[in-house]
Amino acid sequence: MVRDMALASDPVTQDELNDLAAGHRRWLETGGGGGTWQVLKVGSLPLAIYNGPSGAEGTRAELRYRRFEKGADLRGLVLSWADLTGLVGEWIDLRGADLRNATVTDAQLRGAQLSGADLSGADFSRADLSGADLMGADLTGTDFENTDLTDAKRI
């Protein structure tokens, strides 16, 4: 159901992503982040709730149940503390991205390029990372509970 919801949405456009990333950067720079996540099930859908400091400017990034076109280039994107629950993006390129402490539960990221990314403290519970490239990624404290890591490159 999560995947179907994401696929029913329009893909995230480059302009939308640029605006979202800029607002998120302002949120982080003015005190956002550093909180905790609680992921609940509402019916059969995961819902991530953030509890913590909010930035004085900008907005915390939310891409809940959204999708990216296959192979989208998101290299170096900064989305620490973002809500990426149910995100769909097969073969997307997140090399060098900052996803520290983001919630990426129930995401469909088959074949994602995550090499060199900072995934420390991120929650990938129940995500599909089959065939993903995690080479050189910081996985300190990353939650992979019930995550599909079939054929993923991890060292």
Pairwise CA distance, residues 143 & 126, whole Å:
10
Task: Show the domain range for 48.
Answer: 1-155
Cα dist from 20 to 9, 36, 43, whole Å = 17, 21, 28
Range list of β-strands (E), the chain? 36-42, 45-51
Q: Summarize pLDDT for 110-142 with one digit per residue, the tens.
A: 999 999 999 999 999 999 999 999 999 999 999
What is the rounded CA–CA span in Å between residue 136 and residue 132?
A: 12
Here the contacts of 34-40 (C-beta below 8 Å, separation 24 or greater) are 34/81, 35/81, 37/101, 37/103, 37/123, 39/85, 39/103, 39/105, 39/123, 39/125
**pLDDT tens digits, 12-67:** 999 999 999 999 999 999 999 999 999 988 877 888 999 999 999 999 999 999 99
CB 60 within 8 A of CB 32: yes
Model pLDDT, residue 1 = 65
User: Would the pLDDT of 73 be above 90?
Assistant: yes
Q: How many domains does the chain have?
A: 1
Enter the pTM of the model: 0.92
Q: Is 34 exposed, middle or buried (0-12, 13-18, 19+ CB in 10 A)?
A: exposed
pLDDT surpassing 90 at residue 89: yes
In this structure, what CATH number is given to the domain that contains residue 36?
2.160.20.80
Residue 86 has pLDDT above 90, yes or no: yes
Per-residue pLDDT, 155? 64
Q: Is a pLDDT exceeding 90 seen at residue 104?
A: yes
Query: Any idea which of 3-12, 62-71, 141-150 has the lowest mean pLDDT?
Result: 3-12
Is residue 145 pLDDT above 80, yes or no? Answer: yes
